[in-house]
């Protein structure tokens, strides 16, 4: 598949770039929020463990009469349930072997030391002269049943009462559960937000590019001859483009009109001397006069052909020209009915067809073909205009078919008839330029002229011209 990014529409590029940016931003925001929430949940757990740790330290350092009271009375039922995930442990370090007291939840297990797991101290030892050695650490360890625990530990020097390592730990399952639920809720929320943002971006792109679509419709209307210029109010970014296009259309029409004037001036400047030469030689029977008259007539025919061709080329290059074939054919039918009263001339043309060209050019082409058909027809001529299926073609065309019941032409004669200046029968009036001029005019507009066999028995001339279906 030959696909390039530059060939996609602006709306598609805006939509996908905005959607990609939205996905990237929301993904990054989700990761940051998830990390912040985990950090907050862990800090909350550390604060809760810190409360229990301070309660244990207070029980240890409080003066007692005979012996230390049980430091585990902290009102937390989890410390009483075996392997509940909440544990505390107090180890006296200044005796051998160390004396260990722990919560009932530890059952027969022991908590590992953070100092043995390379965890750095959360607070260093105080400076010399302080009364109390105070080292605190926090981190994660593997506890009973290989479950991860969040632990706080603190070394307390209670003087005569001894030196203790106080540890409090809790399972991280609650934190993981909270973070998992938060990430799920966050994912659903961000997914809904992403869908809403993508829909908003699609609407924004559609609304923002509406002036461009309007400009495109106006340009197509001008090209099809449905409008003379680009009208409407456009945003500040597009208005200069519309103005420049209108100036271009006006300049094109001015050039075409100037070309028409020049062609007309040339025609008058040359035809008048040729007419004088022909008139002067008509009354002279000498060989020289006949030769001059013959060459003058040939020059007149050549001049007419090339001037008509130049005029057609200039008109075909005009932007925004259009004509309705229906009234033109009706007018031609009335005119030829008077010229050929013995011919039954019928015209069938739909009203939803518009010729993308000058009315005069269509009159010339259709008039030449109808005149030729009436000259050679015995009694009947049929003109039919129809719109063939467009298929995958970029431009629309219509076909004007002229059938007669005359003698018709062979394949070789058809090709010869389209040659400029060729006349297959001198008994009929004409210069032999009609069919060639029609073919050149049709070609100038991107169409064509085809000759074939008519169902009426004579010649069929099919004129294919560009069209726009009227709304």
- pLDDT per residue as tens digits for the range 8-61: 677 788 888 888 888 889 899 989 999 998 889 888 888 888 888 888 888 777
Residue-level pLDDT at 226 = 67
**Do residues 311 and 333 share a domain?**
no
Coil, strand or helix at 121:
strand
Query: What is the band of 228 on the pLDDT scale with cuts at 50, 70, 90?
Result: confident
User: Could you read off the pLDDT of 377-423 as tens digits, one per residue?
Assistant: 999 999 999 887 764 445 678 899 999 998 888 888 888 877 754 44
Question: How high is the mean pLDDT of the chain?
Answer: 78
User: Residue 403's pLDDT is what?
Assistant: 93
Please state at what angle helix 434-444 crosses helix 287-316, rounded to 10 degrees.
20
Residue 374 banded pLDDT, cuts 50, 70, 90: very high
262: containing domain: 241-316
Same domain, 273 and 376: no
| Domain end marker among 175, 193, 214 | 175
Q: How far apart are CA 363 and CA 331, in angstroms?
A: 9
Q: Which of 258, 244, 210, 249 is nearest to 227 (CA)?
A: 249
Residue found under tokens 């939509």: 15
Confidence of residue 429 (pLDDT cuts 50, 70, 90): very low
> In this model, does residue 238 exceed pLDDT 70?
yes
Helix, strand or coil, per DSSP, at residue 172 = coil
Answer for the pair 402, 382: CB distance below 8 angstroms, yes or no. Answer: yes
- Between these two residues, 155 and 389, which has the higher pLDDT value? 155
Q: Give residue 206's pLDDT band: very low, low, confident or very high (50, 70, 90).
A: confident
Please report the pLDDT score of residue 68 as a whole number.
Answer: 45
Same domain, 311 and 359: no
Contact call for residues 366 and 400 (beta carbons, < 8 A): yes
Split into its structural domains, the chain has a count of 3
pLDDT in tens, 269-295: 777 777 777 777 776 777 777 778 778
206 within a domain of the structure (yes/no): no
Domain assignment present for 375: yes
Q: Please indicate whether residue 115 or residue 139 has the higher confidence score (pLDDT).
A: 139
Distance in angstroms (rounded) separating the CA atoms of residues 458 and 224: 35
Do 395 and 358 lie in one domain? The reply is: yes
pLDDT value at 263 more than 50: yes
Same domain, 140 and 166: yes
Helix (H) or strand (E) holding 202: helix 173-208
Top mean-pLDDT range of 13-22, 221-230, 320-329 = 13-22
Last residue of a domain, one of 175, 192, 210: 175
* Cα(323)–Cα(318) distance, integer angstroms: 13
Residue 315 predicted with pLDDT over 60: no
Q: Which of 288, 316, 344 is the last residue of a domain?
A: 316
Residue 202 lies in a domain: no
Is 293 found in the same domain as 253?
A: yes
- Highest mean pLDDT among 78-92, 166-180, 394-408, 451-465 belongs to 451-465
Looking at the fold, whether 435 and 359 belong to one and the same domain comes out as yes
- Residue 413, pLDDT score: 84
362 or 75, greater pLDDT: 362
119, pLDDT greater than 70: no
Reduced to 3 states (helix: H, G, I; strand: E, B; else coil), residue 425 is: coil
pLDDT at 321: 63
Task: Give the mean model confidence (pLDDT) for residues 94-117.
Answer: 82
| Percent of the chain clearing pLDDT 70 (strictly above) | 80
142 burial via Cβ count (<10 Å: 0-12, 13-18, 19+): exposed
What confidence tens digit (pLDDT) does each residue in 243-261 have? 888 888 888 777 777 777 7
pTM over 0.85: no
Q: Note whether residue 191 is domain-resident.
A: no
- The CATH number of the domain where 348 resides is what? 3.30.565.10
Give domain status of residue 60, yes or no.
Answer: no
Is 285 part of a structural domain of the chain? Answer: yes
């Amino acid at each position: 598949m030959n696909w390039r990014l530059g060939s996609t529409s602006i709306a598609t590029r805006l939509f996908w770039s905005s959607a990609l940016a939205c996905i990237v931003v929301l993904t990054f925001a989700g990761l940051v929020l998830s990390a912040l929430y985990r950090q907050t949940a862990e800090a909350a757990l550390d604060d809760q463990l810190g409360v229990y740790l301070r309660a244990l330290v207070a029980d240890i350092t409080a003066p007692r009469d005979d012996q230390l009271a049980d430091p585990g009375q902290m009102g937390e039922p989890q410390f009483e349930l075996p392997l509940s995930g909440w544990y505390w442990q107090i180890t006296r370090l200044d005796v051998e072997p160390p004396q260990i007291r722990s919560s009932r939840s530890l059952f027969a297990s022991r908590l590992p030391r953070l100092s043995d797991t390379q965890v750095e101290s959360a607070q260093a030892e105080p400076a010399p002269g302080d009364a109390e050695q105070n080292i605190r650490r926090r981190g994660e360890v593997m506890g009973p049943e290989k479950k991860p625990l969040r632990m706080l530990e603190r070394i307390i020097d209670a003087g005569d009462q001894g030196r203790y390592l106080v540890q409090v730990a809790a399972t991280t399952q609650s934190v993981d559960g909270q973070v998992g639920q938060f990430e799920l809720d966050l994912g659903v929320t961000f997914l809904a937000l992403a869908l809403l943002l993508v829909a908003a971006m699609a609407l924004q792109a559609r609304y923002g590019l509406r002036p461009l679509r309007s400009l495109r419709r106006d340009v197509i209307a001008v090209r099809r001859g449905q409008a003379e210029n680009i009208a409407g109010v456009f945003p500040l970014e597009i208005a200069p483009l519309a103005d420049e296009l209108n100036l271009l259309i006006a300049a094109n029409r001015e050039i075409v009109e100037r070309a028409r004037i020049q062609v007309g001036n040339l025609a008058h400047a040359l035809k008048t001397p040729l007419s004088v030469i022909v008139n002067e030689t008509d009354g002279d029977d000498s060989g020289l006069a006949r030769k001059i008259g013959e060459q003058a007539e040939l020059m007149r025919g050549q001049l007419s052909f090339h001037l008509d061709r130049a005029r057609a080329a200039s008109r075909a290059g005009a932007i925004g020209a259009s004509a309705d074939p229906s009234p033109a054919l009706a007018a031609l039918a009335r005119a030829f009915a008077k010229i050929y009263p013995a011919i039954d001339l019928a015209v069938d043309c739909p009203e939803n067809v518009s010729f993308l060209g000058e009315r005069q050019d269509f009159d010339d082409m259709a008039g030449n073909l109808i005149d030729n058909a009436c000259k050679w027809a015995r009694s009947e001529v049929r003109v039919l205009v129809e719109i063939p299926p467009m298929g995958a073609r970029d431009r629309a065309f219509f076909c004007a078919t002229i059938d007669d019941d005359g003698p018709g032409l062979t394949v070789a004669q058809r090709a010869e008839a389209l040659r400029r200046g060729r006349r297959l029968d001198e008994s009929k009036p004409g210069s032999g330029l009609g069919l060639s001029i029609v073919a050149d005019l049709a070609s100038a507009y991107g169409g064509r002229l085809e000759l074939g066999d008519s169902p009426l028995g004579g010649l069929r001339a099919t004129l294919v011209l560009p069209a726009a279906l009227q709304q």
